[in-house]
Amino acid sequence: MLTKNKNLINDLKKQLSKENVLTTLEERYAYSQDASNLKDIKNIADAVVFVENIEQIQNVVKIANKYKIPIICRGAGTNVVGACTTEHGGIILNFSKMNKILEINPENMTARVQPGLILGDLQKEVEKFGLFYPPDPSNLKVSTIGGSIAQSSGGAKSFKYGTTKDYILSLTVVMANGEILQTGSNTIKNATGYNLSTLFVGSEGTLGIITEAVLKLIPKPEARAVMMSYFDTVESAIKAVNTIIDNRIYPATIDFMDKNAICTVEKFYPANLLTDKECALVIEVDGFKNSIEYQRKIIVNILESSGSSAIQYSTNDEEYEKIWMARRSSMGACTKLRPNVTTDDVIVPRENLAKLVKGIQNICEKYNLITCLVGHVGDGSVHPQIPIDYEDKVEYENYKLAKNEIYQLTASLDGILSGEHGVGYAKKDYINMVINPTALDYMRKIKKTFDPDNILNPYKIF
């Protein structure tokens, strides 16, 4: 081990207890990738540390500044853009021991939480008070509050309820120089000065270390139901989405699965999905118990008159979970098709959605790639999941060409390269396709102001 690294490890062990500093090759390797499964990560972490309080975080920041070494925050590592990868080495700051709910305040409808708290655990606890925290990045049983704030996560419920950014009232942040910054307030509204909280939402750990968050909660809808509506063409499915919205119906979710996604899920996680159909919409309605059947009837009428050829719907919790499990399993199912799987996230104004979906299917066909398309189409958001073999040089080259074309198509349709997954390492070379140079320049200036020595998750986003 180099002397610099030895000293670094000694310093870390002095500040944190021994079991909170991981240093073996295997341990450092295991924490150097994330769910993005990127091919070209050339370096691994120098150390992995588990922090238990703000003072320890400040001490780690001091050490990182002393050795001019990166700090890469890590929640559950489920981001899919290489936001936690370690191309430049560094200290992985793991929050799994800062995972508590510090307060649920039913009167104010707020929760004060630590960054390592699992989203699903928060949801379960607030539901005991009849409250609801809607952001659900499809893997809420593992992903953390800190990671979902830093990644500006969305998910299936964002059509009706918005994304993580809409639920952040206040953040406590350790800055790159060790100072503690408090953003926002505990109030539901705040027009007092710049909204610094939003700067940290989606900052991917590049501007500061989130150590606490006050979240807005809303009343939990009394009842909910979900349906799968099948179509024989993508165009008719998208038309149905627009007709539902034109009729002023406001489902919690309008998600999409194409034929490949349906067939792949059904093959590996059978859920009685109809594999002879071209695509399906997954639509959830919620609200007062006696409104569910009313909403369902109106939506079924619209779906049938828009050409839906079959509709399955949940009548109890078991059926509800079964449909959702099928939708959530699409990426897991894709991993069984090839040794690697990539998932992407592009979004366009809804009027251009059909062109985007058909365009992505055509591009993948042109490059001989399988694609399983899912997405939150109520928002205009599409996730092409592309299973490939990185060792197959031709396939990998084709994948890179297809990715570039998908981004060009998205930009030409007035879209943007991520609605909810972020940029990370995977997309940083492409963001100038959609972000204007002046805006990019101001983003770089913000980074420089917050983190002049480039300690915090360097070379991510841009």
Ligand X SMILES: Cc1cc2nc3c(=O)[nH]c(=O)nc-3n(C[C@H](O)[C@H](O)[C@H](O)COP(=O)(O)OP(=O)(O)OC[C@H]3O[C@@H](n4cnc5c(N)ncnc54)[C@H](O)[C@@H]3O)c2cc1C
**Contact residues: ligand X, CB under 6 A:** 34-35, 72-80, 83-84, 95, 115, 137-139, 143-144, 146-148, 150-151, 153-155, 204-205, 209-210, 331, 420-421, 457
Closer residue to ligand X, CB minimum distance, 76 or 348: 76
State in angstroms the smallest separation of the CB of 143 from ligand X: 4
112, 213 in Cβ contact below 8 A? yes
449 burial type by CB count under 10 A (0-12 exposed, 13-18 middle, 19+ buried): exposed
State in angstroms the smallest separation of the CB of 163 from ligand X: 7
Closer residue to ligand X, CB minimum distance, 385 or 398: 385
Closer residue to ligand X, CB minimum distance, 110 or 211: 211
Closer residue to ligand X, CB minimum distance, 95 or 161: 95
State in angstroms the smallest separation of the CB of 135 from ligand X: 8
Pairing mode, strands 71-74 and 101-105: unpaired
State how far the Cα of 382 lies from the Cα of 239, in Å rounded to an integer. 16
262, 333 in Cβ contact below 8 A? no
Residue 382's nearest CA partner among 334, 343, 434 is: 343
Token digits of residue 242: 């627009």
State in angstroms the smallest separation of the CB of 332 from ligand X: 7
State how far the Cα of 324 lies from the Cα of 361, in Å rounded to an integer. 24
State in angstroms the smallest separation of the CB of 387 from ligand X: 13
Closer residue to ligand X, CB minimum distance, 140 or 238: 140
Closer residue to ligand X, CB minimum distance, 35 or 426: 35
Closer residue to ligand X, CB minimum distance, 204 or 344: 204
Closer residue to ligand X, CB minimum distance, 215 or 302: 215
Q: List all residues 6 or more positions away from 113 whose beta carbon is below 8 Å from its beta carbon.
A: 100, 101, 102, 122, 145, 212, 213, 215
Q: What 3-state class would DSSP assign to 103?
A: strand
Closer residue to ligand X, CB minimum distance, 126 or 149: 149
Sign, CA dihedral 187-188-189-194, equals: positive
State in angstroms the smallest separation of the CB of 289 from ligand X: 27
State in angstroms the smallest separation of the CB of 121 from ligand X: 12
The residue nearest ligand X at its CB is 147
Neighbours of 328 (CB within 10 A): 19
State how far the Cα of 250 lies from the Cα of 67, in Å rounded to an integer. 53
Q: List all residues 6 or more positions away from 243 whose beta carbon is below 8 Å from its beta carbon.
A: 302, 305, 306
156, 138 in Cβ contact below 8 A? yes
State how far the Cα of 426 lies from the Cα of 459, in Å rounded to an integer. 11
State in angstroms the smallest separation of the CB of 384 from ligand X: 13
State in angstroms the smallest separation of the CB of 429 from ligand X: 17
Q: What 3-state class would DSSP assign to 43?
A: coil
Q: List all residues 6 or more positions away from 422 whose beta carbon is below 8 Å from its beta carbon.
A: 79, 81, 83, 151, 152, 202, 204, 461
Closer residue to ligand X, CB minimum distance, 205 or 415: 205
Residue that is written with structure tokens 């270390």 in the block? 209
> Half-sphere exposure of 135 toward its Cβ, with a 13 Å CA cutoff?
25
Neighbours of 432 (CB within 10 A): 11
State in angstroms the smallest separation of the CB of 32 from ligand X: 12
Token digits of residue 84: 């936690």
Closer residue to ligand X, CB minimum distance, 180 or 311: 180
Token digits of residue 262: 């349906």
